[in-house]
A and B are shown apart, each in its own frame.
Chain A
Amino acid sequence: MNRRAIYVAALVFILATILALPLGRYPVTVWEIGGALWANFLGEPTAREREISFLFLSVRLPRIFAAILVGASLSLSGAVYQSVFRNPLVSPGILGVLAGASAGGAVGIVVFSSWPLTQILACAGGVFGVTLSLALSRLYPRSPLLALLVGGLVCGSFFTAVASLFKYVADVDNQLPELVYWLMGTLSRTTGTQLAYVAPLLTIGVLALAASGRTVNALSLGEEEALSLGVNAKLARLKLIGLATMVCSLSVVLAGIVNWVGLVIPHVARLVLGPNNLTVLPASALFGATFVLLTDAVVRSTWTAEFPLGVFTAIICLPLFAFSLWRDWARS
């Protein structure tokens, strides 16, 4: 592991978090936030300090935590999928995980209007999405790399159609706007309650995935080499795909579909630090968290009407992806 690189990435991430704290439609400085929290702790806050504390603890802090978790989950699971499937072009979006989770979530919102059930259905949709993509790819074994990409795209279209169907039948006044905005990818509706449901599982999943670099390296060499290196390849692969799918699906519950982060950020991490997953996995988590944190800070503070996060990440990620592909080509 390149520890120095991880420390630098962690430092950048901490600085980005401090930078994101005061940014938003309600402008406050870091000092004001600190002062308000301290005054609340002492029990003698002014009305403005009370307001700032409320805003910070109920709105901004959950949103910042959610951005960190969503960015880390998507990027990390993208890095794991790419190595385990031995295909640098797959991602949670391309494998149909995000579309599957969004279809499951749409069923939860429209049919059941229940938060825990929405969460379970989103996870089930994500698992179903990746399973269907894999099953479709097996139908064309002559070119497994291409088959997985096409299988994922077909599967993604299918689940997008399912989600559209639920948009069509959703209640126009209440459910439809919520569903449409959520599917575009946004953290503006993240609440402390949602976070309390999702964060523990997401945090455990992210930490477990970030610590699995050795096994992921072995699996990236193929099943027989992994077996000969002492890794129970089938079980390890199943666990990693399951864990990566769970964190992606839970990120969809928090933020809807935030596209391209899972494809592009692992490429950037490999471009900067090389392909060794002992470094790439924790670095992808930190890079992804920093990226979504800063992107969300921009979308919530730059325009009067908030821009959907998923749309903005897609706009930024396209040139980043083109650059990383070009660098890779130029190096070889």
Chain B
Amino acid sequence: MIEVRDLSFAYYKGPKVLQSVTFRLDAGQTLCVLGPNGSGKTTLLKAILGFLPLPKHAVFIAGQPIETYDRPSLARLLAYVPQNLGAVFGYKVKDMVAMGRTGRKKWGDFDQEDLKKARAALELVGILSLAERPVTELSGGQARLTIIARALAQDSRLILMDEPTSGLDLSNQALVLSTMKRLNAEAKVAFLMTTHHPEQAVYLGGEALLMKAGRALAFGEARTLTTIKAVEDLYDLKPGLLSQMGLSPVCLEGTYGD
């Protein structure tokens, strides 16, 4: 589904934010990109979404270089869930979700099929009861679920999320992550997300990519990759600190429930 080959990138004439990153994610798999602030996680996400001017043949989506896609075609394969809802105006939740169909239309209003897809997405995420609410009046967790529903309405095969639990309290984190896990299990929706929390990668299962200073340190199964040693090295923690705090990625596995 996604293949990143020896990707390096720098903003303008600044230092390299990504350095020779290589990994491959197959269809249906979930991937968590872990790493400290400034490690290049968000830049990697933006590169895969086609937001950045990249060197040719560095990112492949469904077997084709990303530069060969136009925006509507790319939107059919990849959907994006940003950290915060970008709405300045108080669109109704159902209208916001229907916007996921934007790239599939050339002219005019959404048709019945689009509205049916939007409703199905709201049902699948479990927020149909919020359909008439303005998005500006939602809690942080509800807002993230609304953008996930919009991504589902987009009919894309992979949803990319930038720190989906950032700024949320524990119950909203649990709401978002358990919904993601359910969607992956039941609807075969794949996620690629950046996070600061190794336990989230373990909870969601799938793969993990550890990044530091723009480089991919390790890529593999999340459960085996996120050892205490690996997490301490990744975040430059004093050895033994996690254990002293009574924390480990695996012991936090049950945090979000099912």
Residues on A close to B: CB < 8 A? 1, 83, 86-88, 211, 213-215, 217-218, 220-222, 224-225, 227-232, 270, 274-276, 278, 332
Measured between alpha carbons, how far is A209 from B108 in the docked complex, in Å? 12
B85–chain A nearest beta-carbon distance, Å: 8
Q: Is B89 a contact of A275 with CB atoms below 8 Å?
A: yes
Count how many pairs of residues, one from A and one from B, have CB atoms less than 8 Å apart in the complex.
Answer: 82
- Bound complex: CA of A70 vs CA of B49, how far in Å? 41
Besides the known contacts A220-B87, A228-B79, A332-B137, 5 further A-B residue pairs in the complex with CB atoms under 8 A apart: A214-B109, A214-B110, A215-B102, A227-B51, A227-B71
Chain A proximity of B145: nearest CB distance (Å)? 16
Q: Closest CB of chain B to A89's CB: distance in Å? A: 11
CB contacts (< 8 Å) of B100 on chain A: these are 229
Q: Which residue of A lies closest to B95 (CB)?
A: A276
Contact in complex: B80, A225 (CB < 8 Å): yes
Which chain B residues numbered 33 to 82 have a C-beta less than 8 Å away from chain A? 46, 49-51, 70-72, 74-76, 78-80, 82
The main secondary structure of chain A at its interface with chain B is: loop
- Which positions in B face A, CB cutoff 8 Å? 46, 49-51, 70-72, 74-76, 78-80, 82, 86-92, 95, 99-100, 102-105, 107-110, 136-137, 154
Among B70, B80, B88, B137, the residue within 8 A (CB) of A220 is B88
Measured between alpha carbons, how far is A7 from B110 in the docked complex, in Å? 18
Residue numbers in A under 8 Å from B80 (CB-CB):
224-225, 228
Kindly list chain B residues whose C-beta atoms are within 8 Å of the C-beta of A86.
86, 88
Known: A83-B89, A217-B91, A278-B109. A228 touches B78 (CB 8 A): yes
Nearest-neighbour CB distance to chain A for B90, whole angstroms, equals 6
**Do A222 and B86 have beta carbons less than 8 Å apart?**
yes
Contact A229 B92 (CB under 8 A): no
* Chain B, Cβ-Cβ closest to A215: B102
Across-interface contacts of A276 in B (CB, < 8 A): 91-92, 95
- Of the A-B pairs whose beta carbons lie under 8 Å apart in the complex, a sample of 15, sorted by A's number, is A214-B102, A214-B109, A224-B46, A227-B50, A227-B71, A228-B75, A228-B80, A229-B100, A229-B102, A230-B74, A230-B76, A230-B103, A232-B71, A276-B92, A332-B137
CB–CB A225/B89 < 8 A? no
Q: In the complex, A83 Cα to B91 Cα: how many Å?
A: 12
User: Across the interface, which residues of B come within 8 angstroms of A88, CB to CB?
Assistant: 88-89
Contacts of A213 in B (CB 8 A): 109
B75 contacts A230, C-beta separation under 8 Å:
yes
A225 touches B49 (CB 8 A): no
Chain B residue nearest to A1 (CB atoms) is: B109
Docked CA distance A283–B107 (Å): 18
CA distance A232 to B51 in the complex (A): 11
Q: Report A-chain residues with C-beta under 8 Å of the C-beta of B154.
A: 229
Residues from chain A with a CB closer than 8 A to the CB of B105 are 214
Complex Cα distance, B94 from A75, in Å, reads: 26
Chain B residues near A217: list those with CB within 8 A.
91, 95, 99, 102
Q: Closest CB-CB distance, A127 to chain B, in whole Å?
A: 25
**A136 → B minimal CB distance (Å):** 21
Query: What A residues does B88 contact at CB under 8 A?
Result: 86-88, 220
Which residues of A are found within 8 Å of B136, using beta-carbon distances? 332
**Contacting pair B49 A227 (CB below 8 A):** yes
How long is the Cα–Cα vector from A228 to B192 in the complex, in angstroms?
14
A220, A222, A275: residue with the most chain B Cβ atoms closer than 10 Å: A275
Q: Which chain B residues border A215 with CB–CB below 8 Å? A: 102
Which residues on B sit within 8 Å (CB–CB) of A220? 86-89
Distance of A83 Cα from B86 Cα, bound (Å): 12
* Set of chain B residues within 8 Å of A83, measured between Cβ atoms: 89
Complex Cα spacing A241 to B58, Å: 34
